[in-house]
Structure 1
Amino acid sequence: MSDAYETLRLEVAGYVATVTLDRPPVNAMNRAMREEIVRVFDALHDREDVRAVVLTGAGKAFCAGADLKERPNIAGDPGAYPRHNRLTRAVFDSVMECGKPVIAAVNGLGIGAGCVLALSADIILVAEDAYLSMTEVDVGLAGGVKHVRRHLGESDARLMIYTARRMSGPELLRMNAASLCLSREALLDEARKIGAEIAAKVPLAVQAAKRSFQVTEYMPLHEGYRFEQSQTVALASTEDTQEAWRAFAEKRKPVFKGR
């Protein structure tokens, strides 16, 4: 697969990939960006040289959401909305289903689909002067409720959706929607640092942990924990888990092979 993209940039160093949305001026999501986000995260899912992914935006914006110039034409193009909605879901699914943990470094505004894109990541970091906002009610639409509800408490989720307010970095931290709120200058370095920390762990174990988060999200406790235990059983016989045990006993740094 070619690493040439029109609307984003991809860098890989030390098992950490950085995906930067790069469609000036505000990284609005058009069809090309949607297709490229799906393509890059599907590829990162399978790449052996990637163990964690940082997702951020170029310039002063994370992602301004959907490019309204490309809204589906219901009257003139039958089937336009189903196609559009299917691809939009695929964007968020590709991030959530990527086998490698994804760290969103929200460096600026994240509006509508841009907000949901950030909320699709495993770990969310925000700049102090960044914000997330769901503006659908301002333009006569409604969407993003389920994604918002996954991260915010019921009152805060409704406040965000019903008012279309801009939730700043410090507010998102207070709402437990973000793990860290940092200066814009420190944001990307910290996200990559977390990525490197994840990349140093047993790769198959990290992937199994992410799979457990995905599969058990809506399971009752008993069934969810049983699934997690099945992951542990499967990992116990892998080369990397055996290497982790030997390295711990021998007080040395482990060398993982991804198998």
Structure 2
Amino acid sequence: MSSIVLKIENNIGFITLNRPEVFNSFNREMALEMQAALDECQSDDTVRAIVITGSGKAFCAGQDLKEVTTPELMPGFRKILEEHYNPIIQRIRTIEKPVVGAVNGVAAGAGANIALACDIVVASENAAFIQAFSKIGLVPDSAGTFFLPRLVGFQKAMALMMLGDKVTSAEALQMGMIYKTFPLESFEEEVSKLAVTLANMPTKALGLTKRLLNESMTNNLQQQLALESELQIQSAKSYDYNEGVTAFVEKRQPVFKGK
């Protein structure tokens, strides 16, 4: 059974972490399959939105500790970070299509930080986020130290990472860590509705918006203004811009093609 399931339908790439017996924790096979699934979603022009979620009760428990404590399996932390997690984070951030992190259950360690690297994060009401690294004497990785302070503030991020507190989805919503929560019984339906909405939007403009926000992390004001001008000119040349303006003038709903 594959440790990653990719299903493409309705212009959406649904990527499901599929090791429920170990709460979808990552080993090397799963990490490489995840990268391959993201690559396929990037290269497939029919995919206009991506959803990452977990099977079973958990979203992702982070690293499978069996892999790092069994000598014959042990790849070493440098290899795990440079070949497993870092490429996953880089793909999520550089794919110019919206990526939804659909956190169906507990997201801990690298699992939490993979979720927080997504463009839009939603969670079921029974989900939770845990920066579990300090509990076993490690430091946060998978870009957690980059994204979490920007989402919740420096002081809150420091406390969550040092103390390893369990953050409920309601608390995560309140502190601005995530976008929305949904009841467990309607979670899959609500995620699908959100993904369909994104998949029917002007994909090129959404991708350029993502690029702008990525660059805003390090640009100064002048650099950001210049990049906004450049990318606005690009988006104004798109089919979807012409369709959007035409639909507005004709007082109808636009039919975007993601071009």
Counterparts of 2:125 and 2:73, CA distance in 1: 42
Please tell me whether the aligned partners of residues 72 and 81 of structure 1 are also in contact (alpha carbons under 8 angstroms).
Answer: no
Could you tell me which residue of structure 1 aligns to residue 180 of structure 2? Answer: 180
Could you tell me which residue of structure 2 aligns to residue 138 of structure 1? Answer: 135
Query: What is the letter of the counterpart of residue 145 of structure 1?
Result: T
Could you tell me which residue of structure 1 aligns to residue 217 of structure 2? Answer: 217
Following TM superposition, by how much is the alpha carbon of 1:77 offset from its aligned partner in structure 2, in angstroms? 10
Q: Could you say what secondary structure the match of 2:26 adopts?
A: coil
TM-aligned CA distance change 1:139 to 1:205, over 3 Å = same
Following TM superposition, by how much is the alpha carbon of 1:119 offset from its aligned partner in structure 2, in angstroms? 0.6
Following TM superposition, by how much is the alpha carbon of 1:255 offset from its aligned partner in structure 2, in angstroms? 3.6
Superposed, 1:1-259 pairs within 5 Å as 6-25=2-21, 26-71=23-68, 80-87=76-83, 88-143=85-140, 144-259=144-259
Query: What is the letter of the counterpart of residue 97 of structure 2?
Result: K
Please tell me whether the aligned partners of residues 72 and 80 of structure 1 are also in contact (alpha carbons under 8 angstroms).
Answer: no
Counterparts of 1:76 and 1:194, CA distance in 2: 43
The two structures, once aligned, show a CA RMSD in angstroms of 2.2
Q: Could you say what secondary structure the match of 1:160 adopts?
A: helix
Sequence identity (%): 30
Following TM superposition, by how much is the alpha carbon of 1:83 offset from its aligned partner in structure 2, in angstroms? 2.1
Counterparts of 1:44 and 1:77, CA distance in 2: 30
Counterparts of 2:206 and 2:218, CA distance in 1: 20
More displaced stretch, 216-225 vs 206-215? 216-225
TM-aligned CA distance change 1:130 to 1:77, over 3 Å = closer
Counterparts of 1:11 and 1:76, CA distance in 2: 33
Following TM superposition, by how much is the alpha carbon of 1:91 offset from its aligned partner in structure 2, in angstroms? 1.4
Following TM superposition, by how much is the alpha carbon of 1:79 offset from its aligned partner in structure 2, in angstroms? 8.4
Query: What is the letter of the counterpart of residue 165 of structure 2?
Result: R
Counterparts of 1:251 and 1:109, CA distance in 2: 45
Structure 1 unaligned residues grouped into runs of 5+: none
More displaced stretch, 133-142 vs 149-158? 149-158
Number of residues of Structure 1 aligned to a counterpart in Structure 2: 254
Please tell me whether the aligned partners of residues 51 and 195 of structure 2 are also in contact (alpha carbons under 8 angstroms).
Answer: yes
Q: Could you say what secondary structure the match of 2:56 adopts?
A: coil
**Residues 54-111 of structure 1: CA distance to partner in whole angstroms, max 9, x if unpaired?**
11110100001001111288x9999843322212211111112222111111111111
Query: What is the letter of the counterpart of residue 146 of structure 1?
Result: F
Structure 2 unaligned residues grouped into runs of 5+: none
TM-score scaled by length of structure 2: 0.90
Following TM superposition, by how much is the alpha carbon of 1:149 offset from its aligned partner in structure 2, in angstroms? 1.7
TM-aligned CA distance change 1:79 to 1:185, over 3 Å = closer
TM-aligned CA distance change 1:77 to 1:43, over 3 Å = closer
Following TM superposition, by how much is the alpha carbon of 1:150 offset from its aligned partner in structure 2, in angstroms? 2.7
Q: Could you say what secondary structure the match of 2:254 adopts?
A: coil
Counterparts of 2:73 and 2:46, CA distance in 1: 42
Counterparts of 2:136 and 2:173, CA distance in 1: 27
